[in-house]
C-alpha cells in the first residue's frame, strides 16, 4: 500500500527547478542527496511550509495538496510529525510542557501515544522539570522526538535530524530512533546527505539530485549499483559493513563479516546492539597478490564487480561477500590490470576502521 | 509639592496608563503583522504608524482636535449620541499621548516579534496547533518582554507629552493639567521657575525608571537556544 505519494513541480525565483515524483510504500525510506539537491524543498512542500506551483501530496489516501483541485491542507492539519535538525524546543516551556504541547489537540480524546511510555523509551523522565537551555544536545533531540511522537502523527519526517550532533551522540540517537520506530511503527521519511546514516537507517532510498529523482529502490542496491554516480557531490563513498559476530582472541577483537575475519581496533565495551564497521573507500588498498610481512592486518579476498571513473580517480566495487568500495588512482588501475571478474585482495588497516552502533 | 502639583502627577500617571491600554491591542496586532507577514502596501502601514514620530506634536494635536473636537465628525457624533466628550477632557490628553507614543510602542513590539524564530512557530503548527493558538502560545509569550518594554517606552513618552495634549485637552487646572503643562504654567508665572523643580524632578524620575525597566526587559527577552 502506498503511504505517501508525492508529485511536485516548482520553479524557484533563483531559477532552481524542482520536478519530483515518487511513491513511498515502505516503513522507513530515506531521501538522499547532496546539499542543494532539493531535499529541504521537498520536506517543506510535504510539510506545507512551501506551496508548490503544481502537483499533489497524498498521505495515507488523504490529499494534503492538489493544485488542480485547489486543496491545500494547513500545516496544523497535515498530521506529519517533523523532527528537525535543530530540535526547536520551545524555550519558555519546560520539558513536560514541551512534550504535552502537541497532545492538546487530543485533550477531548485519549492520545494514541502515552506520555509515560514515551518518557520511558526515550529515557527523559528525569528531565521533565528542566528547561531546554539546561539540556544537552542529545537530551534536547530526545525531547523533540518525544514531543513529535505525542502529537500522534500519521508519518514522521526527519530532516537531517542528526546533522547538529557529534558522532557519539548520533549513534545514541539512532538507537532511540530504532526503538521508537519498532514500538510505534510510524512510517518514516529520513532525509540526509550522509550515506552511512541512510544505509544504517533505511531499507529503501530515493536519491535526488538537481531537483529530480535520480534513483529509487533498495538502499543496498543503490549503494552497489548506482553508488559512485550519486556520490559525485555528496559526502562519500563510505563503506559500512554489518558485523555478524564478534570474537575475542587475547587482547585483539575480531569481527566476522560474510565469513571473513577482520581485526578491530580495541573495543572498550561489548554491546548487545547491532554493530557496524565504517571506513572510507580511500582506506582500502588493493593488491593482486597476498602480501606477507606488512603492517596491514586485514586482507580480504574478493571479486571486482564494477569499475567507475570519477573525477580522475577510479572507484572499484569488490564483492567480498558484501560490497566494498575502493578508491584508487588511474595509474594503480593500469598497473593492477583491473578487470571486472578478476580476483583481488582488499587490505584495510585496523586503525582505519571505526566501530559504530 | 502643592496639591495642584500632586494632582498633575496623579493625572499624568492616569493619562499615561490609559494611553498604553488604548494603544496596546492594536500595537500588538500591527507589530506582529509588520514583523511576520509579507504583503503589498506594507510600506504604507509602516509609514502611517511612524508618522506621529516625525510630525510636530502640535500638528498631531491639531488633527485630533479637528477630528475629536466639539465640531469635529467624531467629536460631535460622540457628544450627540453618547453625551460623551473627548476634547478638553483628560481623555483627550490620553488620546493625544496614545497617538504620539504609538510608533515607539509598535517599533518595540515589532522588534520583539521579529526576534521570535519563525521555525518555532512552524514547529508548533506541525504539532497540530493552528496559527492563532500558535500566536497565543508561542509568539506572544516569547515576545512578552519586548511587548512590556514597548509599553514602558510608550508610558515614558506619554508622561512627557505636551504639544498634542495642549491642543486637544487644553490647559485646564485640576482637569487636564498634566506634569508638562503644570511646569509650563509655572514657568510663565513670576517666580514660578523655582517652584517647578519638584515636578521637573518627578518627571525625570518617572521617565528614567520606565526607560531603565524597559531596557532591562528588552535585554532579558527569551533567547532561542536552538541554534
- Domain ranges in chain B? 3-220
Domain count, chain A: 2
Burial A256-277 (b: 16+ CB within 10 A, else e): ebeebebbbeeeeeeeeeebbb
| Chain A residue nearest residue B143, CA to CA | A92
| Chain A residue nearest residue B131, CA to CA | A76
Chain B residues near residue A90 by CB distance under 8 angstroms = 120, 123-124, 138, 142
Per-residue pLDDT tens digits for B140-193: 999 998 899 999 999 999 998 888 998 888 888 888 888 888 888 888 888 777
Q: How far apart are CA A143 and CA A101, in angstroms?
A: 12
- Can you give the pLDDT at residue B13? 92
- For residue B216, pLDDT beyond 60: yes
Where does a domain end: A179, A209, A236?
Answer: A236
- Can you give the pLDDT at residue A105? 53
End-to-end CA, chain B: 54
Per-residue pLDDT tens digits for B23-58: 999 999 999 999 998 888 889 999 999 999 899 999
Per-residue pLDDT tens digits for B95-128: 999 999 999 999 999 999 999 999 999 999 999 9
CATH code of residue A276: 2.40.50.100
User: What is the least distance, in Å, from the CA of A302 to any CA of chain B?
Assistant: 46
Chain A residues near residue B117 by CB distance under 8 angstroms = 88
What is the pLDDT confidence band of residue B219, given thresholds at 50, 70 and 90? confident
- Can you give the pLDDT at residue B227? 37
Q: Are residues A247 and A232 in the same domain?
A: no
What are the backbone angles phi and psi of residue A342, rounded to the nearest 5°?
-80, 155
Q: Are residues A223 and A272 in the same domain?
A: no
Q: Are residues A286 and A323 in the same domain?
A: yes
Three-state SS for A134? Answer: helix
Task: Give whole-number Cα distances, A338 to A287, A312, B35, in Å.
Answer: 10, 16, 63
Q: Are residues A225 and A245 in the same domain?
A: no
Residues 6+ apart with CB under 8 A from B227: A86
Q: Are residues A195 and A252 in the same domain?
A: no
Where does a domain end: A201, A236, A271?
Answer: A236
Q: Range of A102's domain?
A: 4-236
Chain B residues near residue A108 by CB distance under 8 angstroms = none
CB contact under 8 A, A88 and B119: yes
Residues 6+ apart with CB under 8 A from B214: B108, B148, B149, B150, B151, B152, B153, B156
Q: Are residues A261 and A226 in the same domain?
A: no
Question: pTM above 0.90?
Answer: no
- Can you give the pLDDT at residue A229? 58
Q: Are residues A249 and A198 in the same domain?
A: no
Chain B residues near residue A100 by CB distance under 8 angstroms = none
CB contact under 8 A, B142 and A92: yes
Q: Are residues A229 and A251 in the same domain?
A: no
Three-state SS for A34? Answer: coil
Q: Are residues A122 and A142 in the same domain?
A: yes
Q: Are residues A58 and A206 in the same domain?
A: yes
Q: How many residues does chain A have?
A: 357
Q: How far apart are CA B9 and CA A84, in angstroms?
A: 53
Burial A326-347 (b: 16+ CB within 10 A, else e): bbbeeebbeebebeeeeebbbb
Three-state SS for A127? Answer: helix
Per-residue pLDDT averaged across B69-80, rounded?
87
Closest by alpha carbon to B19, among B158, B125, B117?
B158
- Can you give the pLDDT at residue B225? 41
> What is the complex's ipTM, to 2 decimals?
0.80
- Can you give the pLDDT at residue A147? 92
Q: How far apart are CA B54 and CA A177, in angstroms?
A: 57
CB contact under 8 A, A76 and B223: no
| Chain A residue nearest residue B138, CA to CA | A90
Q: What angle do CA A336, A339, A340 make, to 5 degrees?
A: 140
User: What is the least distance, in Å, from the CA of B127 to any CA of chain A?
Assistant: 5
Chain A residues near residue B123 by CB distance under 8 angstroms = 82, 84, 88, 90
- Can you give the pLDDT at residue A316? 85
From the list B117, B119, B125, which residue is nearest A76 (CB)? B125
- Can you give the pLDDT at residue A272? 65
**A133 contacts chain B (CB < 8 A):** yes
- For residue B72, pLDDT beyond 90: no
Closest by alpha carbon to A52, among A65, A35, A40?
A65
Cell readout for B124 is 508548533
Where does a domain end: A208, A236, A264?
Answer: A236
One DSSP character per residue, chain B reads: --HHHHHHHHHHHHHHHHHHHHHHHHHHHHHHHHHH---TTHHHHHHHHHHHHHS-HHHHHHHHHHHHSTTSHHHHHHHHHH----TTSHHHHHHHHHHHHHHHHHHHHHHHHHTS-HHHHHHHHHTT--HHHHIIIIIHHHHHHHHHHHHHHHHHHHHT--HHHHHHT---TTTT--HHHHHHHHHTSTTHHHHTHHHHHHHHHHHHHHHHHHHHHHHH----TT-
Pairing, β A313-319 against β A17-24 = unpaired
CB contact under 8 A, A75 and B122: yes
CB contact under 8 A, A102 and B127: yes
CATH code of residue A181: 3.40.50.300
* Residuewise pLDDT in 10s, chain A (357 residues): 778 889 999 998 888 888 989 888 877 899 988 777 888 889 889 998 889 999 999 998 899 999 899 999 999 999 999 988 888 999 999 999 999 998 855 444 555 568 888 888 888 889 999 999 999 888 898 899 999 989 888 899 998 888 777 766 777 787 788 888 888 888 899 998 877 778 777 888 888 888 888 888 888 777 766 655 555 545 456 787 878 788 777 778 888 887 788 888 876 655 666 677 888 888 889 998 888 888 888 888 888 887 877 767 788 888 888 888 888 888 888 888 888 888 899 988 888 888 776
User: What is the least distance, in Å, from the CA of B150 to any CA of chain A?
Assistant: 20
User: What is the least distance, in Å, from the CA of B90 to any CA of chain A?
Assistant: 39
Tell me the residues of B at the A interface, defined by beta carbons under 8 Å apart.
117, 119-120, 122-131, 134, 137-138, 141-142, 222-227
Cell readout for B31 is 507589530
One DSSP character per residue, A78-125 reads: S-EEEE-SS----TTS-HHHHHHHTTGGGTTS--SS-HHHHHHHHT-G
Q: Are residues A30 and A151 in the same domain?
A: yes
Q: Are residues A219 and A261 in the same domain?
A: no
| Chain B residue nearest residue A76, CA to CA | B128
Q: Does domain B3-220 have CATH number 1.10.3720.10?
A: yes
Amino acid at each position: 500500500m502506498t503511504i505517501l505519494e508525492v508529485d511536485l513541480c516548482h520553479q524557484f525565483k533563483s531559477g532552481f527547478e524542482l520536478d519530483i515524483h515518487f511513491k513511498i510504500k515502505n516503513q522507513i525510506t530515506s531521501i538522499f542527496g547532496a546539499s542543494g539537491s532539493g531535499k529541504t524543498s521537498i520536506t517543506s512542500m510535504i510539510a506545507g511550509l512551501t506551496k508548490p506551483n503544481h502537483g499533489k501530496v497524498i498521505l495515507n489516501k488523504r490529499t494534503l495538496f492538489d493544485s488542480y483541485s485547489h486543496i491545500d491542507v494547513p500545516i496544523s492539519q497535515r498530521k506529519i510529525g517533523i523532527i528537525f535538525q535543530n530540535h526547536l524546543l520551545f524555550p519558555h516551556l519546560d520539558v513536560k510542557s514541551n512534550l504535552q504541547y502537541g497532545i492538546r489537540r487530543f485533550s477531548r480524546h485519549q492520545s494514541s501515544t502515552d506520555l509515560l511510555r514515551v518518557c520511558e523509551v526515550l529515557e527523559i523522565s528525569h528531565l521533565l522539570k528542566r528547561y531546554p537551555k539546561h539540556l544537552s544536545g542529545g537530551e534536547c533531540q530526545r525531547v523533540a522526538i518525544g514531543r513529535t511522537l505525542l502529537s500522534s502523527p500519521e508519518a514522521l519526517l526527519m530532516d537531517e535530524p542528526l546533522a547538529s550532533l557529534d558522532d557519539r551522540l548520533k549513534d545514541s540517537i539512532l538507537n532511540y530512533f530504532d526503538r521508537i520506530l519498532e514500538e510505534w511503527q510510524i512510517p518514516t521519511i529520513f532525509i540526509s546527505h550522509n550515506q552511512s546514516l541512510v544505509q544504517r537507517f533505511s531499507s529503501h532510498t530515493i536519491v535526488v539530485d538537481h531537483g529530480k529523482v535520480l534513483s529509487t529502490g533498495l538502499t543496498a542496491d543503490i549503494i552497489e549499483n548506482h553508488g559512485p554516480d550519486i556520490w559525485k557531490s555528496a559526502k562519500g563513498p563510505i563503506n559500512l559493513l554489518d558485523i555478524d559476530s564478534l570474537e575475542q582472541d587475547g587482547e585483539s577483537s575480531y569481527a566476522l563479516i560474510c565469513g571473513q575475519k577482520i581485526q578491530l581496533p580495541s573495543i572498550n565495551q561489548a554491546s548487545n546492539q547491532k554493530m557496524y564497521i565504517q571506513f572510507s573507500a580511500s582506506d582500502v588498498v588493493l593488491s593482486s597478490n597476498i602480501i606477507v610481512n606488512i603492517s596491514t592486518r586485514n586482507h580480504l579476498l574478493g571479486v571486482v564487480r564494477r569499475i567507475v571513473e570519477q573525477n580522475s580517480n577510479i572507484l572499484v566495487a569488490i564483492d567480498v561477500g558484501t560490497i566494498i568500495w575502493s578508491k584508487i588512482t588511474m595509474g594503480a588501475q593500469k598497473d593492477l590490470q583491473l578487470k571486472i571478474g578478476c580476483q583481488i585482495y582488499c587490505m584495510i588497516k585496523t586503525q582505519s576502521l571505526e566501530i559504530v552502533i | 509639592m502643592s496639591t495642584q502639583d500632586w494632582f498633575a502627577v496623579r493625572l499624568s500617571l492616569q493619562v499615561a496608563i490609559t494611553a498604553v491600554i488604548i494603544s496596546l491591542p492594536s500595537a500588538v496586532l500591527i507589530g506582529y503583522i509588520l514583523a511576520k507577514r509579507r504583503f503589498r502596501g506594507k510600506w504604507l502601514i509602516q509609514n502611517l504608524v511612524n508618522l506621529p514620530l516625525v510630525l510636530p506634536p502640535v500638528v498631531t494635536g491639531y488633527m485630533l482636535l479637528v477630528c475629536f473636537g466639539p465640531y469635529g465628525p467624531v467629536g460631535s457624533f460622540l457628544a450627540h449620541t453618547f453625551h460623551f466628550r473627548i476634547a478638553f477632557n483628560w481623555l483627550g490628553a490620553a488620546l493625544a499621548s496614545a497617538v504620539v507614543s504609538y510608533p515607539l510602542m509598535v517599533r518595540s513590539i515589532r522588534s520583539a516579534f521579529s526576534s521570535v524564530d519563525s521555525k518555532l512557530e512552524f514547529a508548533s503548527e506541525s504539532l497540530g496547533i493552528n496559527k492563532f493558538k500558535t500566536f497565543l502560545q508561542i509568539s506572544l509569550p516569547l515576545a512578552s518582554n519586548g511587548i512590556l518594554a514597548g509599553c514602558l517606552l510608550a508610558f515614558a513618552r506619554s508622561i512627557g507629552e505636551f504639544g498634542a495634549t495642549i491642543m486637544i485637552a487644553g490647559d485646564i487646572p485640576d482637569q487636564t493639567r498634566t506634569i508638562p503643562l503644570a511646569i509650563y504654567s509655572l514657568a510663565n508665572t513670576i517666580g514660578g521657575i523655582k517652584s517647578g523643580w519638584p515636578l521637573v524632578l518627578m518627571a525625570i524620575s518617572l521617565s528614567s525608571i520606565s526607560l531603565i525597566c524597559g531596557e532591562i526587559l528588552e535585554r532579558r527577552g527569551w533567547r532561542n537556544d536552538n541554534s
